[in-house]
Homo-oligomer: A and B are copies of this chain.
Amino acid sequence: MSAENEIPVAYEQLEELEDDFEDVELEMLRYQHKLSKDLYARREKVIAQIPHFWPLVIEQSPPDIDEYIQPSDAGLLMNSLTGLSVERFELPDGDPRSIAIRWEFSENEHFENRVLEKKFYWRNAKDGWAGLVSEPVEIKWKPGKDLTNGMLDLVRQVYKDEDAGNKGETEAKKKLKAQMESTGLDGLSFFAWFGFRGPKITDEEHKEATKKEEERRKARKEGKKTDDDDQMEEDEDEDEYEWEIFPTADDLAVCIAEDLWPGAIKYFMAAQEQEAMSDLDFEDDSDEDMDGDEGKEDPPSKKRKA
């Protein structure tokens, strides 16, 4: 890398600083969990008394989330979402970046499940990559009601085939590839999010990679030359997004965990305020469905009424 040739010492120091900043970030997540877990438990109890709390929150969700919710998703969420929760499930001892997002539903026309939970694990790969990985989640669609048009099932099948050691061109792979190429992913249902996988990293690889990473950091701290770019080329031949029907699902998960979840009351209040304003205007705007974008110019974070 050119920067390394020009300013090798400064570059090494930047890497070392990034290690330390990352440690601070992890410490902050742990502290936040400690400070707020009782509050979230209290919130849970209060929310239970309020009908349609989560649908109203979703309705007011920020653009980074809202952009993925198609009209048919919105209909389903508005009518059937009864609960949402986020848990940093590897705490207190594990990585605070691992998150589980749990959605609860009432009886609905689309699927049989009452609970859909997706777990994202923070993992290290041997090529130096680090990030969130997950397993495709099964949704038991009712006949003719699959919002992903079979793609979620195919993603699951491909994942299972791989686990069974089937590395070649399976039936599911052929079908999925054909469907991805013919329809594309634009406008795909929010529920395709449950299909996200990320790079496949075994527990063993994660452990080894974590250990190697720790050794590298230690060496860097002691001012020794590390093997960074020399031996750590990424697997260039692997297409990371080949079987991904929702490639930004990890970013969306982080956005849910860091914005929608902590800000739920704020978004709920914004929904209430919007409704009150509609009432003031003497408009007959009492049905709450899908007016997602109205009144968003003034973000609730900026203005709060005491």
Contact = CB atoms under 8 A, between A and B. Distances in A.
Interface in A228-271: 228-229, 232, 234, 250-251, 262, 265-266, 268-269
Given A265-B14, A265-B21, A32 B36 contact: no
A150 B36 CA distance: 48
Interface residues of A, number: 54
Interface in A30-62: 31-32, 35-36, 39, 42-43, 46, 49-50
B272 A10 contact: no
B10 A39 contact: no
Interface string A205-231: 000000001001100000000001100
Interface in A127-153: 128-131
A136 to B, nearest CB: 19
Contacts of A10: 46, 49-50
Interface string A253-293: 00000000010011011001101100100000000000000
Ranked 9 nearest A-B pairs via Cβ: A3-B272, A128-B306, A10-B49, A13-B46, A1-B276, A128-B305, A24-B35, A14-B265, A24-B36
Given A21-B36, A21-B39, A27-B35, 6 more contacts: A10-B46, A10-B50, A14-B43, A20-B39, A129-B304, A130-B306
28 contacts: A1-B273, A1-B276, A2-B272, A2-B275, A2-B276, A3-B272, A9-B49, A10-B50, A13-B46, A14-B268, A17-B42, A17-B43, A18-B265, A18-B304, A21-B39, A24-B39, A28-B28, A28-B35, A129-B303, A129-B305, A130-B303, A213-B306, A217-B306, A228-B306, A232-B305, A232-B306, A234-B305, A251-B302
